Amino acid sequence: MNWTTDDTWIALTGALCALACSLPGCFLVLRKMSMMGDAISHAVLPGLAIAFLVTGDRASLPMFLGAAATGVLTAVFTQWITRFGNIDQGAAMGIVFTTLFALGLILIVQAADHVDLDPGCVLYGAIEFITFDTVRLGGWEIPRAAVVNGGALLLNLVVIATLYKELRLSSFDSGLADTLGFSSGLLHYLLMTLVAVTTVAAFESVGSIIVIAMMIVPPAAALLLTRRLLPMLLISSGIATASAVLGHWMALVLPPLIGFERTNTSGMMAFTAGLLFTLAWIFSPSEGLLKRYTAGAISESGSYPNP
Amino acid sequence: MLHEHPPDCPLSVHDLTVAYQRKPVIWDVDLNIPEGKLVGIVGPNGAGKSTLLKACLDLIPKTSGWVNIYGEPYRANRHLVGYVPQRESVDWDFPVSALDVVAMGTYRRLGWFRPVGKAEKAVALEALEKVGIAHLAGRQISQLSGGQQQRVFLARALAQDAKVYFMDEPFAAVDAATEQAIVTLLQELRNSGRTCLVVHHDLATVAQYFDWLIFLNLRVVASGPTAEVFNDDNLRKTYGGKLSLLDHAAEAIRRS
């Protein structure tokens, strides 16, 4: 294996993106709306297409704003359909994002087929090539993807640190939050905005498979390992970082070993997250397979002792 | 029907109607609740009891009418109000400790952005002590029994230090010891001048626990001191032809 500076940048960018996704992901998992990241990452397509049609150019900012706006709209439409259509939230999400994704496809094929706005590229990204697109920052050549994902991470860190108490309250008991004067609707859309911005920042540079995986898998694994919110956020961050770094390393090391010609780093990072989840599932102190097995051997009961 | 709403009233409700998809759930509710009473809200399933509480707390939109807390709309006087939702309304697997949940009662005084500090934790611990489970403060809430979870919710309401409490079925599925602890707590609250509105299901205990009753079934059938309104006539009007319930009620009247 030959680990170069480029590989360091790829692993670092993957880690920044994984971290940025896993932070709001913890709250999504706790609110039982884990698939929101998936929905938003698909639903941003018409936003991208419309931004392109309006400006006629692939400049980053308008595309970013268009995508982020559609992302937030996904959350708004989902909420509407859930409330007025009396439909379960998962189904409402499915209706909204498939419709928006399809609309995006139609727009792209109709009006922008000749330019490089490739739906396939949107899905699995191009994290291997991030070092070809750099910006100068304080005398350093830094991949643009690292800057963008780092920015998303910083935004998530700041918002979650300042509104930790409010997000925890409204995720646990939205009714109480409202009666206390912390608008649960406002906090919901704030979280959805973070998810949308993070998703858009990530999927363009590293592909949406990482977004979907990192918003759900590290938080879900962390929830198996702890029963407190702050440790959950920290463990989830650790798993996200490890998935990205190990994932890229495995993408380099594994193919020759198993006789594959090449592999895909984004896919490998998501796959590693899945492996780490499996480990957490086996070794979880509360509901792990190992614990269940040993507890069953001792007392024949796999459940909690009744307090 | 009442038309006067004295401003010093902890809760006054005027011509309140709430409808879901054009179907009224509560209709033309008019109430004045005096201060320092334990108020029981009784009625059959689907009578709109929880809806009444939620509409008073601005949690669901009102179709018409208004609600005042001490003479002001809820928004202006929310610091005077404490809320105990139904136990099933939250996910008890959520990764927080009993102390974390109780400390949520102090958030309104804390306001936006300020984190929970030592003072808030002390308030929370004191509230847990009052409900008798201070030793479980560090437990994750799924590791508490149903009765203990209900006590956590009550402790959180105590930490809110409100003047009017709205409680949605605090006695639902709790053990006898917890039921007794809740009754004692309610009496302490009343004796210190607080007003508690409690949705209650057990007609056998309703006359014993509460000194004011609201009979609700879409409309207010009766509202007044227990001694005046707890009678066969009101029970029949509220519960209609549900005979087994009425038998319970008749027995309760004989006992009281």
HEC letters along chain B: CCCCCCCCCCEEEEEEEEEECCEEEEEEEEEEECCCCEEEEECCCCCCHHHHHHHHCCCCCCCEEEEEECCEECCCCHHHEEEECCHHHCCCCCCCEHHHHHHHHHHHHHCCCCCCCHHHHHHHHHHHHHCCCHHHCCCEHHHCCHHHHHHHHHHHHHHHCCCEEEEECCCCCCCHHHHHHHHHHHHHHHHCCCEEEEECCCHHHHHHHCCEEEEEECEEEEEEEHHHHCCHHHHHHHHCCCHHHHHHHHHHHHHC
Q: Which domain holds residue B214?
A: 11-255
Q: Which helix (H) or strand (E) holds A137?
A: strand A134-137
> How many beta-carbon pairs below 8 A join chains A and B?
80
Bridge partners, B38 (sequence order): B196
Q: Compute how many other C-beta atoms are within 10 angstroms of the C-beta atom of residue A226.
A: 19
For chain B, what is the domain count?
A: 1
Is the model's pLDDT at A115 over the cut of 90?
no
- Under DSSP, the state recorded for A142 is E
Note whether residue B5 is domain-resident.
no
- The CATH number that domain A5-215 falls under is 1.10.3470.10
CA distance A203 to A192: 16
SS percent in chain A: helix, strand, coil, step 5? 80, 5, 20
CA-nearest residue to A229 within chain B is: B95
Residue ranges per structural domain of chain A: 5-215
CB contact under 8 A, B107 and A169: yes
Bridge partners, B81 (sequence order): B164
Give Rg (Cα) of chain A: 20
Note whether residue B6 is domain-resident.
no
Note whether residue B2 is domain-resident.
no
Q: Residues with Cβ < 8 Å from A146, sequence gap 6 or more?
A: A9, A12, A13, A16, A130
- Cβ–Cβ contact B91 with A under 8 A: yes
pLDDT in tens, A58-71: 667 888 888 889 98
Note whether residue B52 is domain-resident.
yes
CB contact under 8 A, B95 and A164: no
**CA triplet B68, B71, B74: central angle to 5 degrees?**
40
Q: Which residues of A touch B104 (CB under 8 A)?
A: 169, 172-173, 176, 180
Output the tens digit of pLDDT for each of chain B's 256 residues: 445 788 789 999 999 999 987 788 999 999 999 999 999 999 998 899 999 999 999 999 999 999 999 999 999 999 999 999 999 999 999 999 999 999 999 999 999 999 999 999 999 999 999 999 999 999 999 999 999 999 999 999 999 999 999 999 999 988 999 999 999 999 999 999 999 999 998 888 999 999 999 999 999 999 999 999 999 889 888 888 664 555 666 667 666 6
Look up the CATH number of the domain holding residue B146. 3.40.50.300
